[in-house]
Amino acid sequence: MPTFTINGISLDVPEGMTVLQAAETAGIEIPHYCYHPKLSIAGNCRMCLVEVEKFPKLQIACNTFVTDGMVVKSNTEKVRQAVTGVLEFLLINHPIDCPICDQAGECGLQIYYMKYGLHRSRFAFEDKVHKKKVQDIGGQIILDAERCILCSRCIRFLDEVTGTSELEFFQRGDHSEISIFPGKPLNNNYTGNLADICPVGALTSKDFRFKCRVWMLRGAKSICPGCANGCNVEAHFKEDILYRLQPRRNDKVNQTWMCDPGRLEYRKANEGRLLTPAVREQGGLKAEAWEAALSAVSFRLWETVEKSGSDSVAVIASPAFSNEELYLTRKLADEVLRTPNLGFSPRTSGDGFSDDFLIKADKNPNTRGAQLLGISGEKFEDIVRKISDGEVKALLVFGNEIADFPEEKTGELLAGVPFVVQIGTNEGSVFRAAHAILPSASFVERGGTFTTHEGRVQRFWMGFPPRGNARSGIEIITGLANRLGAGWKFAGEASVFRAIAQSEAPFSGMSYESLGESGQIAGGKG
Ligand code: SF4
Ligand code: SF4
Ligand code: FES
């Protein structure tokens, strides 16, 4: 392990580390644009210059590898002047766009200008080279070519990650310009990542731009609910509106990337939400207080069991719910309603598209969790048959749709059940057929864990309290169970997870602390 010194601090670093990476481990920032931890080294922005003892000239930290005994300085006047000079050079032809640029607030040029620049421009405004602005280049991206600093991160992403190579530099000198090839727009499922990795406002998100200034947003660590891959994300919100999802680094799951469909999953937390408990009376929905709605639903469930037996009640669980909620769903079915009719509803959403990178055909975040908790997918077919045969008199449906059934099929199926309760987040085919609605919190309005397709149990955190009068699934299930005499004393998701870790073998020994931010494989380590 080489020992090297930076700004007087001695460090032992792993073999093969660059000076820039080693400095990061010591908490020393070396400014950079073209370096990205998950892309090859280009070394073209020249912002990361440092002094290396015995080298006559400044070196770029992103492509200088640490050797034993190396002495580096990043805080000298010589380095400061060089970095300021590079920044001035990069800004020579940059437009005066900050007030109208959607990158403002998270722009690498703004940030480094304040830290390392603060120079007066020596370049006349009218001499700036202008390039094309506001171009829709396909996917989720708008290109503003004159804001580009030619760092090539976007080109390397499309060459090395998606392998689709849609972007390239054209022209020479200060007329160099990033662009797609004529008539060949971005054509891959990961275009949104370009807006994340572009350090300036050249590539911005078509969906997010001009919706909200970034300094007004707060973030919560979360998991994309769009498929079984469980990409780690940061959910950005203002008050109770979710504005965007951005990938959060987890080298064991998604590195630093996420797919385009997953990026738009945030919309479901805002649109068509169920926000207040309601019961259907004479064809119309009547809003109810939680106490009244939970009492009415639990009374109907009790009455059905009394009159027609436990077998006449069925529960369709949802693999979009957390491990904690699924565990309580199983307890409700097994121990309180004592019904054998519990299964989860599989869902692929449309064509069930998948690829060999991140996107999985299973469009649920927690199918594996449901399976590991002993909730069967096969049982679902059995429940559907019993409903069709008129054997089910009361049905609890978790989620907004039943499997991939079209609206009419769900309507026909549920029309035969005298009492249908939906515990879900959004309007949909179940909502239109349900007799009682118990609105549940979206993924950013509650905390818990999901289990990925490979069995990795990962935490997601609450960003803001449930919108309107919605409640977490844990509160709703516990509310029903206790009205039916269960006497449960769960206080939030942590207490439910402790119970899971104690009683469910695949989760044995896990805790929220041991899961940390990158998760743990159920039944093993890693
Ligand atoms: S568009 Fe952005 S990421 Fe691409 S080269 Fe220009 S500055 Fe770099
Ligand atoms: S691959 Fe799946 S989990 Fe990852 S971002 Fe896309 S939809 Fe979300
Ligand atoms: S980060 Fe080193 S040259 Fe760009």
Three-state SS annotation for 160-209: HCCCCCCEEEECCHHHCEEEEECCECCCCCCCHHHHHHCCCCCEEECCCC
How many CB atoms are located within 10 Å of the residue 502 CB? 10
Q: Which residues line ligand 1 (CB under 6 A)?
A: 148-154, 178, 197-200, 202-203
Take atom 8 of ligand 1 and give the residue whose Cα is closest. 151
Rounded to a whole number of angstroms, the CA Rg of the chain reads 27
Residue nearest to atom 1 of ligand 2 (CA): 359
The confidence score (pLDDT) of residue 173 equals: 94
Report the amino acid identity of residue 353. Answer: F
Distance (Å) from CA 34 to ligand 3 centroid: 5
Ligand 2 atom with the shortest distance to the CA of 223: 3
- Which of 249, 258, 267, 348 to mutate for ligand 2's pocket (most ligand atoms within 8 Å of CB)? 258
Phi, psi of 376 (to 5 degrees): -95, 140
Between the CA of 425 and the centroid of ligand 3 the distance, in Å, is: 46
Pocket test for ligand 1, best of 149, 176, 197 (most atoms within 8 A of CB): 149
Q: Is 262 in the pocket of ligand 2 (CB under 6 A)?
A: yes
**pLDDT per residue of the chain (526 residues) written in tens, 0 to 9:** 889 999 999 999 999 999 999 999 999 999 999 999 999 999 999 999 999 999 999 999 999 999 999 999 999 999 999 999 999 999 999 999 999 999 999 999 999 999 998 888 888 888 999 999 999 999 999 999 999 999 999 999 999 999 999 999 999 999 999 999 999 999 999 999 999 999 999 999 999 999 999 999 999 999 999 999 999 999 999 999 999 999 999 999 999 999 999 999 999 999 999 999 999 988 789 999 999 999 999 999 999 999 999 999 999 999 999 999 999 999 999 999 999 999 999 876 666 799 999 999 999 999 999 999 999 889 999 999 999 999 999 999 999 999 989 999 999 999 999 999 999 999 999 999 999 999 999 999 999 999 999 999 999 999 999 999 999 999 999 999 999 999 999 989 999 999 999 999 999 999 999 999 999 999 865 4
Maximum C-alpha span of the chain: 91
Ligand 1 atom at minimal distance to the Cα of residue 149:
7
Query: Which ligand 3 atom lies nearest to the CA of residue 43?
Result: 3
> Ligand 2 pocket, 223 CB below 6 A?
no
Residue 389, φ and ψ in degrees, nearest 5: -85, 0
Distance, in Å, from the CA atom of 277 to the CA atom of 269, rounded to the nearest integer, reads 17
Both tokens assigned to 306: 């009394």
**Residue for token pair 């029309």:** 415
* Ligand 2 pocket check for 227: Cβ under 6 Å: yes
Grouping H, G, I as helix, E, B as strand and the rest as coil, residue 397 is: strand
Nearest ligand 1 atom, CA 145: 1
Q: What is the distance between the alpha carbons of residues 105 and 154, in angstroms, rounded to a whole number?
A: 20
| Ligand 2: nearest atom to the Cα of 357 | 1
What pLDDT is attached to residue 349? 64
Three-class DSSP category at 110: helix
Q: Which of 131, 235, 142 is nearest to 461 (CA)?
A: 235
Question: What is the predicted pLDDT for the residue at 350?
Answer: 63
Whole-model pTM: value is: 0.96
Q: Is residue 229 within 6 Å of ligand 2 at its C-beta?
A: yes
Which residue in 288, 335, 284, 337 sits closest to 308, CA to CA? 337
Judged by DSSP in three states, 429 sits in: helix
